[in-house]
Amino acid sequence: MSETWLAIELTHLALDLARRAQEPHRDLPIALSDGKAQGPRILDSNPAAQRLGVEPGLALSAALSLAGNLLVYNREPAAEQRALERLAAWCYQYSSAVSIATDQHTLLLETGGSERLLGDSQRLAQQLEQELLTLGYHSRAGQGPNPEAARLSARLGQPAPALNAISAWLRPLPLSALNLDPGQSQALEQMGFRHLGEIMRLPRKALARRLGTALLHRLDRLTGLRPDPQKLWQQPLSFESTMDLAAEASHCQALLFPINRLLRELCGVLRGCDRGIQSAHITLQQGSGEEVFTLRLQQPSRDESHLVTLLQERLERLRLRQPVRRITLRADDFIAFDAAPEGLFPDPENPASNPLDPLLERLQARLGKRSVYGLRGIADHRPERSWQRCSPQAAVHSPSMPHRPLWLFQQPRRCAIEDYRVLAGPERIESGWWDGHDCRRDYFVVRDSGGSTLWAYREYKPEPGWYLQGLFS
């Protein structure tokens, strides 16, 4: 089977890292500076800044005079490399072979093996461009029979042909298509070369003698005469991504859009390595401190819509002490994920199939983990002491219990037994002499005039009398 490669060139990666927290309708002018101490210049700018005259190459001082509200960020190569690595992991959901090009912001995917599943490479390229845009990254994709041809295809905006036709495709292209370094490009122009075909007609030895072997090897990789092995990116089993906000967020609703983007990126990475998470930590960095909260799941998940729902529930009860300038999403432990088919009832052989788990997760996100708990029985005959709280997802094995109401009153209520009709009883419970809470009671099932079935008892010690303790129905 012949190989097909997809190249994704991230055309504005450094600028995207500065602006991806901004919602599309908020068109604030943003520019990227080279960060030099003397004479800093603009490297890139968004459309809002360009409309004000802020173009690449402009001095930073001149840019600020043109746009007083310009948001300026310094380029951070280390952050760009981390973003490339995250996106390489994200791309594994579309290919089993992903590498990072060393000299440009470009990702390379071998997609020939997955065409039957994902469709032809040209359609996949368009899909990837659109999905990356939803994450806040502008890109340009191209495809070809080898990595070098795919990169050239992305740069030109046209698909490369099959390997047996690629030489004819290359010949009419201008030298600028190869994106040569300035010295090499100038030397070729001084020799009178304008198109690739003119270079390709030269004898190989003469070409190597005149221009060096680097250009010859590159042409050989393009035409398939020389192999082009790629070092595949190894996926880490953790995730961390940080996003700077264009403006301080003083209310939680403003955090929803950027955190959604971070969660979407995380879920793509999880699909790429076929893993899930049970917790994700979100750090909100503020002026003089930070706030950290955690999304917790009952079972491993990578469901983006479910995580976003939990996030919304959690943000509704979050009160910011200070405005937020930076958000970090971290997931430390990726867990093996079993996408079992969903059913109406839980599978007793599979504890991960409980359909109540999403509801429990939403309740815990909204109310707090301590406010949502399970109950389990313990070996004590006194009804008020026969249960205890437990984690909702804990495996519970309660002791066998006699017939009891599901609802116990918080405190027993005094009653006049003649107002009720006795249905069953008595049942004697006498216990607790060893812990100072001893009791002696006779229990009855009774019904009131309204038809409710209740649990009543006659107390002999410590305070004699009749009481209602629970409700059957």
What is the structure's pLDDT at 110? 92
pLDDT reading at 357 higher than 70: no
pLDDT at residue number 151: 93
Is the Cβ–Cβ distance between 362 and 309 less than 8 Å? yes
- pLDDT (tens digit per residue) in 293-309: 888 887 888 888 888 88
pLDDT of 254 reads: 87
pLDDT confidence of 371, banded at 50, 70, 90? low
Tokens matching residue 171 = 């010949």
User: 5-28+69-223: which CATH topology?
Assistant: Alpha-Beta Plaits (3.30.70)
* Beta-carbon contacts of residue 337 (< 8 Å; ≥ 6 apart): 270, 274, 275, 276, 300, 301, 302
Predicted local distance difference test score (pLDDT) of residue 313: 84
pTM, full prediction = 0.75
Q: What is the pLDDT of residues 375-426, one digit of tens each?
A: 666 766 677 766 667 776 665 555 666 777 878 888 888 888 888 888 887 8
**Band (436; pLDDT cuts 50, 70, 90):** low
Helix (H, G, I), strand (E, B) or coil at 2: coil
Q: 402-424 burial, b for 16+ CB within 10 Å, e for fewer?
A: eebbeebeeebeebebeebeeee
- Please tell me the CATH code under which domain 239-336 is placed: 3.30.1490.100
Per the CB < 8 A criterion, the answer to whether 152 and 177 are in contact is: yes
β-pairing, 30-33 vs 42-45, is: antiparallel
Q: Quick check: 219 and 200 in contact, CB under 8 A?
A: yes
SS3 state at 152: helix
pLDDT score recorded for residue 46: 93
What residue spans define the domains of the chain?
5-28+69-223, 239-336, 407-471
- Bridge partners of 331? 239
Separation between Cα atoms, residue 329 and residue 255, nearest integer Å: 12
DSSP string, 32-45: EE---SSS-BEEEE
What gap in Å lies between CA 130 and CA 138, rounded to an integer? 9
Residues 48-63: b if buried by 16+ CB within 10 A, e if exposed: bbeebebeeebebeeb
pLDDT, tens digit, for every residue of 230-260? Answer: 999 998 899 999 999 888 888 888 899 999 9
Residue 148 has, within 13 A of its CA and on its CB side, a CA count of 21
Q: How confident is the model at residue 16 (pLDDT cuts 50, 70, 90)?
A: very high
Tokens of 374: 């399970």
Instruction: Dig out the tokens for 118 from the structure.
Output: 């994902």
Distance CA 184, CA 180 (A): 6
Is the distance from CB of 124 to CB of 19 less than 8 angstroms?
no
Residue 459 confidence (pLDDT): 86
- Of 67-81, 186-200, 319-333, minimum mean pLDDT range: 186-200
3-state secondary structure of 210: helix
In sequence order, the β-bridge partners of residue 242 are 328
Give residue 43's pLDDT band: very low, low, confident or very high (50, 70, 90): very high
433 contacts: CB under 8 Å, gap ≥ 6: none
> What pLDDT does residue 345 have?
47
The string of DSSP codes covering 368-417 is -GGG--EEEE-S-SSGGGSEEEE-TTS---PPP--S--SEEEEEEEE--G
* Confidence label for 372 from pLDDT (cuts 50, 70 and 90): confident
State the alpha helices, DSSP H only, in 302-356. Answer: 304-316
* Cβ–Cβ under 8 Å, residues 200 and 170: yes
Query: In percent, how much of the chain has pLDDT > 90?
Result: 38
436: left (phi over 0), alpha (psi -120 to 50) or beta: left
Residue 125: how many CB atoms within 10 A of its CB? 24
Q: Which pLDDT band holds residue 312 (cuts at 50, 70, 90)?
A: confident
